[in-house]
């Protein structure tokens, strides 16, 4: 059984002969940039193999491990500079006791606000890169991962985002000096694919015609049901989507800005990893992506 040693790490990885180097490194928790999810097309998963028949700079997704290897990782995971502030219009709020968390899960980035529900004050903010990027940079590549791993893919993608949300929740609570048990509700806006992957629902139907998601309606569940660490009774509310490619993030933006009440014509544009446009014309709403 071949051994893999990663330069700068004391960890020794044992793997089956013929195992894929990229998949093995990712499974063991090492960062290797791979926007195409190991399809050999992006050229970003380069590693330097220090010895053996495969010595030199190689695309790790194309390397089969057939002998002991010493590998130097060439990429570094970078912190994202994520925008967490912006225009907030006036809208009616429901004041109550406890704390709430607003979460925006994008394909590339995630932003979170911890809010005191008694007065609507934002106590702390956080952001991060979406941890699912290790399975691909865009939604279709991540859906392809589910196709390639039908037994485990949905669970792996759910775990990646939930684990990182839990870490960020801990930071927000520490900054606000409250306990997680005081969080009453976590409200989530996300594109349709990310919403499926957050709660562990198979998203493969979104990637093939007729591009029909498993659900578009709002979902309410206990936080612990999907692995989020908060209070025993903390509720997670997932906003509704419109279709496979018009998600709850767009729905949230339209509702908070009250665009359906705007006179005349208004154009609402979301430029992200996936882009959407909403045209409001005297109360009629049209959208595309």
CB 193 within 8 A of CB 203: yes
pLDDT at 271: 87
CATH number of the structural domain spanning residue 233: 3.30.420.480
Domain count, the chain: 3
Tell me which residue of 92, 86, 136, 91 sits closest to 111, measured CA to CA. Answer: 86
pLDDT band at residue 84 using 50, 70 and 90 as cut-offs: low
Question: Residues 107, 198: one domain?
Answer: yes
| Cβ-proximal residues to 113 (8 Å cutoff; 6+ apart), any chain | 84, 101, 102, 122, 124, 125
Question: Residues 30, 138: one domain?
Answer: no
86 or 219, which is more confident?
219
Question: Residues 221, 266: one domain?
Answer: no
How far is residue 236's CA from residue 89's CA, in Å, rounded to a whole number? 24
pLDDT band at residue 190 using 50, 70 and 90 as cut-offs: very high
CATH number of the structural domain spanning residue 31: 3.10.20.30
Question: Residues 200, 141: one domain?
Answer: yes
Question: Residues 64, 137: one domain?
Answer: no
pLDDT band at residue 80 using 50, 70 and 90 as cut-offs: low
The pTM of this model reads: 0.82
pLDDT band at residue 263 using 50, 70 and 90 as cut-offs: confident
- pLDDT at position 287 over 90: yes
Does 84 fall in a domain?
no
Does 78 fall in a domain?
no
- For tokens 């926007």, name the residue: 35
Does 89 fall in a domain?
no
> Which structural domain range is residue 188 located in?
99-253
Question: Residues 188, 276: one domain?
Answer: no
Question: Residues 129, 161: one domain?
Answer: yes
Does 192 fall in a domain?
yes
Question: Residues 18, 141: one domain?
Answer: no
Does 243 fall in a domain?
yes
Does 90 fall in a domain?
no
Question: Residues 248, 265: one domain?
Answer: no
pLDDT for 137-187, tens place per residue?
Answer: 889 999 999 998 999 999 999 999 999 999 999 999 999 999 999 999 999
Question: Residues 193, 122: one domain?
Answer: yes
pLDDT at 171: 95
**Which whole-number Å values give the CA distances from 145 to 29, 79, 156, 190, 197, in the listed order?**
17, 24, 10, 19, 12
Question: Residues 32, 131: one domain?
Answer: no
HSE at residue 41, side-chain half, CA atoms within 13 A, is 7
What mean pLDDT is predicted for residues 46-59? Answer: 89
Helices (H), 56-152: 139-148
């Amino acid at each position: 059984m071949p051994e893999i040693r990663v330069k700068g790490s004391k960890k020794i990885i044992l793997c089956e002969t013929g195992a894929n180097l990229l998949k093995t490194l990712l499974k063991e928790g090492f960062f290797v940039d791979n926007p195409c999810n190991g399809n050999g097309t992006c050229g970003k998963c380069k590693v330097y193999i220090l010895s053996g028949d495969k010595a030199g700079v190689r695309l790790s997704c194309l390397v089969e491990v057939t002998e002991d290897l010493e590998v130097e990782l060439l990429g570094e995971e970078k912190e994202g500079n994520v925008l967490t502030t912006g225009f907030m219009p006036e809208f009616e709020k429901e004041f109550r006791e406890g704390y709430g968390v607003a979460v925006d899960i994008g394909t590339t980035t995630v932003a979170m606000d911890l809010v005191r529900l008694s007065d609507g004050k934002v106590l702390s903010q956080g952001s991060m890169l979406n941890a699912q990027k290790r399975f691909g940079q865009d939604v279709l590549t991540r859906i392809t991962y589910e196709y390639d791993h039908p037994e485990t893919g949905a669970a792996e993608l759910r775990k990646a985002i939930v684990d990182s949300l839990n870490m960020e929740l801990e930071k927000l609570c520490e900054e606000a000096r409250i306990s997680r048990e005081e969080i009453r509700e976590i409200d989530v806006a996300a594109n349709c694919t990310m919403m499926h992957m957050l709660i562990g629902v198979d998203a493969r139907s979104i990637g093939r015609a007729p591009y029909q998601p498993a659900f578009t309606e709002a979902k309410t569940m206990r936080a612990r049901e999907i692995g989020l660490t908060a209070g025993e009774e903390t509720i997670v509310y997932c906003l509704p989507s419109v279709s496979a490619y018009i998600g709850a993030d767009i729905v949230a933006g339209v509702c908070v800005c009250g665009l359906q009440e705007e006179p005349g014509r208004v154009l609402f544009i979301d430029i992200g990893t996936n882009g959407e446009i909403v045209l409001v014309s005297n109360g009629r709403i049209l959208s595309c992506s």
